[in-house]
Amino acid sequence: MVRKIIESAAQHYRAAIAPVLTVPIGLSSLSRRKLLTGMVASSLLLSACITPKLFHDKEYDENVSAFMITEDGKKLVVLGDQYHYIFDLPDKLRPVLMSRYRKSLSSTFFGFRVDGDSVTGAYFLKLPKNASDEDRQAALADGFKEEYSGFTFGGDIAGKRYSATGFERNLPAQSFNKHYSVSIQESLSPAEIGVRVLATPITLTADGALVLGGVLLAPIFLIELKNHPLNFF
């Protein structure tokens, strides 16, 4: 489908610049060079106008039922109704999510963007100013910055998106007490770029536990999903 779009755009492009591609006979060498320079500039401008129309971002809403972390602290998992998003847990974020003060954090994950099967996002965590002295010191040691309203910490995450089709929807008591919806930016859908989205590698054991690659998944609480996309360039 993308190939057809590109071929169609190319035809329109050639038709649009065809009238200016004929260099009149009788022009001096200098005049010819100036004319050719102008034609190149015009073609580049036209190309710039066509490209954004071909490859504009799309957006879809994902209902998220659980936010989890592998027991070994290496993967961050977002369970959605349509897809599962598995992120590599950043080294600097790992000790924070496994810390003693994590229950005092106001945590926001937002700005999800998908390109094929790759997904990126951002996180922002805040420890209140009235936290215990022990928690404040531990947070500062983990990289938090002190601000007027509290202690803040943020960064980017990246990972892969997997299809949740056929996944057991009746999750155990490891999910949020309500569903959250998050807007996800998508440059082109998998069908448009010919990418097959792999099935989720997450499985449900007989006793109701969720497992990723043989590693147990544990829930993360106090997570808020912001419904305002953040673009990454």
Task: Compute the distance between CA of residue 174 and CA of residue 172 in angstroms, rounded to an integer.
Answer: 5
Longest Cα pair distance anywhere in the chain, in angstroms?
A: 86
Q: Work out the pLDDT band at 227, boundaries 50, 70, 90.
A: very low
* 105 and 219 together in one domain: yes
- Using the structure block, give the residue that is written with the tokens 């792999």: 198
Q: Work out the pLDDT band at 13, boundaries 50, 70, 90.
A: very low
* 97 and 164 together in one domain: yes
* 100 and 48 together in one domain: no
Which domain range does residue 203 map to? 58-225
Q: What are the C-alpha distances in Å from 134 to residues 130, 140, 141, 222?
A: 11, 10, 11, 20
* 101 and 49 together in one domain: no
Task: Compute the distance between CA of residue 114 and CA of residue 28 in angstroms, rounded to an integer.
Answer: 53
What's the chain's average pLDDT? 74
* 34 and 145 together in one domain: no
| 22 vs 161 pLDDT, higher one | 161
pTM, two decimals, is 0.67
The pLDDT score that the predictor gives to residue 85 is: 95
Using the 8-state DSSP alphabet, how is residue 23 labeled?
A: P
Q: Is residue 141 part of a domain?
A: yes
* 38 and 92 together in one domain: no
Helix locations, 18-132, DSSP H? 29-54, 94-97
In the chain, how many domains are there? 2
Looking at 54, 75, 93, the residue that finishes a domain is 54
The pLDDT score that the predictor gives to residue 166 is: 82
Q: Work out the pLDDT band at 41, boundaries 50, 70, 90.
A: low
Minimum mean pLDDT range among 17-21, 65-69, 118-122, 207-211: 17-21
